[in-house]
Amino acid sequence: MSEEPIAANCLVDAGAGLIPRYGLTLDARFEQSERATAHKFVRDICFSNLPLPFQKARTYFWLIVLTRVLGPSGFGAWSLFIVTLSAAMTVSTMNCGSSLMRFLSGKRKPVEVDEAISTVFAMVSGIAVAIGIALVCFSHPIGRLVFHSYRGSGMLLFALGMALLFDSLFEEIKNLLRARRENRPWAYLCLGRLVPETLAVIGVAYWLRGAAAATWTYAAIAMISVAGGAAYLRIRQGVRFVKPSRQVFSKYARYGLPLLPGVFASTRMKDKSTNRARKADKGNSNR
């Protein structure tokens, strides 16, 4: 039996080019692939920016409501809590988000994903717990440094340590979804925390009229969000939490830590409300 080129059995000459005997033309397939790629790109951009308007709205809602409910001193303490938490998270997360984006993008084996997120969780939780213990052990000098003479600064520091741990873990859950190009679940996860958190903080602050109550509400929502995010990773994404890997730790630390100063500088530039909060707190304490 004579062997003929496979293309002769699969393709038919149509003058303008070769067309598959069954299926679409090569040009049609290329156009279809381009349309699918463009559609996916637009969809990813939309979901990547979906939480941004809600984050801006949360900032304005907190500004409008909490300034009236907590007063100058209480709102200054709340602002310093948020700013300090943001700066501490820059250290506790160890820039693992950049490492996840670098090493987990594209096709990866499930074992790689499991080892990566488990190691990152161990890294982040270890640093966050160490910072939390330092906040508790040196609560008096740190309280005077951060919150000045605000009453109840010790409770704020306890809440800060708790919020730091769960906020850091939640940030890595989001970073994993971004690294795996799961932009839709990432957006829904952000909104699933953002909306209840905004309403809960406002409601508790209005009810109890205290900055400490608002910070503890924030920390409690962070804890619930981590539990929900971990459950989603396990049930819907098939992620299993395994023993941390020393090789992953070494690789992620070598990549992420040198970039940490730049990330910290960027975070400090974004926190422009620091000086305003300090001035408000100082002005109230001097009265």
Question: How does pLDDT run across 140-183, given as a tens digit for each residue?
Answer: 888 777 777 666 678 889 999 999 999 999 999 999 999 998 99
SS3 (DSSP) at 21: coil
Residues in CB range of 169: below 8 A, 6 or more apart: 121, 124, 125, 128, 226
What is the per-residue burial (b if ≥16 Cβ within 10 Å, else e) of 116-150? bbbbbbbbbbebbeebbeebeeebeebbeebbbeb
Which residues lie below 8 Å from residue 18, measured CB to CB, with a gap of 6+?
Answer: 7, 11, 12, 26
Residues in the chain: 287
pLDDT reading at 284 higher than 80: no
Same structural domain, 152 and 58: yes
| pLDDT tier at 30, thresholds 50, 70, 90 | low
Whether residues 168 and 79 fall in one domain = yes
What does the pLDDT read at residue 66?
93
Are residues 16 and 97 part of one domain? no
What pLDDT is stored for residue 24 in this prediction? Answer: 55
* Whether residue 74 is found in the same domain as residue 155: yes
For residues 153 and 144, the answer to whether their CB atoms sit within 8 Å is: yes
Same domain, yes or no: 244 and 176: yes
User: In this structure, are 3 and 122 located in the same domain?
Assistant: no
CA distance 64 to 258: 39
Task: Please tell me whether residues 34 and 56 are part of one structural domain.
Answer: no
Domain total for the chain?
A: 2
Burial class (CB in 10 A: 0-12, 13-18, 19+), 262: exposed
Residues 6+ apart with CB under 8 A from 131: 88, 91, 92, 161, 164
Which of 49, 68, 83 is a domain's end point? 49
In this prediction, residue 205 carries a pLDDT of 93
Q: How confident is the model at residue 73 (pLDDT cuts 50, 70, 90)?
A: confident
H/E element, 206: helix 183-208
**pTM score of the predicted model:** 0.80
Average confidence (pLDDT) over 7-36: 55
Whether residues 76 and 208 share a domain: the answer is yes
**Angstrom distances, CA of residue 92 to CA of 98, 153, 253, 256, 262:** 14, 21, 12, 12, 15
Range of the domain at 232: 50-285
Say if residue 2 is in the same domain as residue 137. no
Domain co-membership, 37 together with 71 = no
Is the pLDDT reported for residue 51 higher than 60? yes
The separation between CA 1 and the C-alpha centre of its own chain, rounded to angstroms, equals 63
Same domain, residue pair 132 and 21: no
pLDDT score recorded for residue 140: 81
Q: CA 70, CA 221: separation in Å to the nearest integer?
A: 20
- Distance CA(238)–CA(245), nearest Å, equals 19
Pair (90, 123) in one structural domain: yes
